Structure 1
Amino acid sequence: MRGLPKAQLHLHLTGAMRPATLRDLAGRHGLAIPPPLPPAAGTWADFQDRYDAARQAIRTPADVARVIAEAADDDAADGCGWLELQVDPTSYAAALGGLAPALEAVLAGAHAAAIPAGVVVASSWTRSPEHATTLARLAATYAGHGVVGFGLSNDERHGNVADFAPAFAIAAEAGLLGVPHSGFYTGAEHVRACVEHLHAARLGHGTAAANDPATRDLLAERQVALEICPTSYPPFGVHELTDIPLRTLLDAGVPVAVATDDPLLFGVGLAGQYSICRDVLGLTDAELAGLAAASIRHSAAPQPLKAELLRRAERWLTDESPRPGTAPSAPARC
């Protein structure tokens, strides 16, 4: 799986932190380390409390730079050739001197990363549409300077989708991709609303679309990609790994990009997510290469980089040479 070229399209800044880095930064700042997530049937509050506690360890531009550099190194080792890092500057503004300085610290880290990277500015479903508009204007200011998208993260059960349309219109006018979270806790109707009112180019998660043929058809017709993060679902009882409706979505023609979400809390990197798609969900080599290709096509990567990554993904599929650690007679894809 590490040899398959791919893009990472759903990774949050704090959730990208290595556990060892969290221990180091928390110790340096005199903070307690949050406990692991419950293995199953946890609540959103269980997750958010731990995420917020971990985020408190990121207090300086140097901390931001370290987290991004290490996340890019980890993704590069997993075959990633383009990284999109999602951040809500509001969460770091107090420590870093304001919304713009917080975003600039993230952009500086992304610029220095080992692989090409862009930044997605995200507001929160739990904050007001007016706040989202403020962040959309901030994101638009940095369009062409490292910001590539605008989204809404957190629990999508909060807020009315249509109320956020003005923020997404500002982002779209600046040429930014619209990438809200949807269809994790909410149903297919929420997924449709994000497409129809926010003109989403991609959706974070969106697995609820699998339950409604009309929504699947809408996503397929408009080629709205879903960012599926397999290990994000079992801790909340949303899906068991074996029940993730990836096959249903692919069979309907819905583009799917596999991503990690928050490996700090969910414990699996990018190549490991693809391995789950192979070993648990039964995808073939051709289907895995298709997932990787979708992640590349639906990214904000520059066109020459997209073309090169797509060529390399196609070569991975046709390469019959043995992988490291395998016998010559068994050319395994791992």
Structure 2
Amino acid sequence: ATGVTAAASAIAATGGRLLSSARSNVAKARESLQLPAPAEPAAAVPAGVQSRAAGVTPWLTPNTDFYRIDTALSVPEINAQDWELRIHGLVDREIRLSFQDLLDAKLIESHVTLTCVSNPVGGNLAGNAKWLGMPIRDALAMAGPKEGADMVLSTSIDGFSASTPLEVLQDDRDAMLAIGMNGTALPLEHGYPVRMVVPGLYGFVSATKWVVDLEVTRFADNKAYWTQRGWSERGPIKTMARVEVPKSFAKVPAGRVAIGGTAWAQTRGITKVEVQIDNGPWIEATLAGEASLISWRQWSLDWEATPGPHYIKARATDGLGEVQTDKRADPVPDGASGWQSLMVTAE
């Protein structure tokens, strides 16, 4: 028994060293990767995109601060040289793309805000980054989707799958097979070497990390990971305004107080944010600059606070003129909704 235990320990130790070495090699390969210049660089970010209210989250989210939601029990370690994407199903021809194929493609670069469907009203499961990648529409065009197809089932190397409307991946919203994030190769935990980025849809139906398979199919024929568990199959992002300063239950000095936050309605844009104090009239906030319709927009409002407790609410209006609904809904099945409300005390 002692001999068997010793042998098993030796095997485990050897396996651990090999795994550690493999992870180290992948990390080193990622760090040394030189990203190609995009054929279509991101539009210049206009001045004034950051909220004037001190304490509002940075307009561009650093990679280390970007939220992470996935089903991977451990971060997959994929050698980019071995990575391959299979595109098949209801297509004229099955194709396979290598990582080098992506490096050689006409890449696009775009600032895109991603949002998780499990984000509660006022929550922080949203982030804005500059992504670099190959347009998914170009990859699909190589395969030639057949008439009648209406969905692409994307699958991660760890088995996660997402159902994305085919039309969304073929339009001009810059859905991409991303290889870069904020000027560097994708971090391992954010999908290195390749992930999907699709503006306007919650991540559970679009943002497949470590993606290795795209099956062109129909919603009637296939269901994705979360759809099988009771979530919706399409997941368009809802209009949302978030109050970031002051914090809920904060104590603030009486007098002028800066209120500020972030709002998003990807693909529609934000045209107005309004704030309500103590059930009074809605007051229009000052919008920060707008970089694009697929990235979030920040806002601020100066408020003269009188001593005592106060309640603050916020709502946004999107580019279609639709006002954020006050109807409260839980994240399941297609994203939370309602107006964020918080209490502060002025002293």
TM over 0.5: no
Higher helix fraction: Structure 1 or Structure 2? 1
Q: TM-score, normalised by structure 1?
A: 0.25
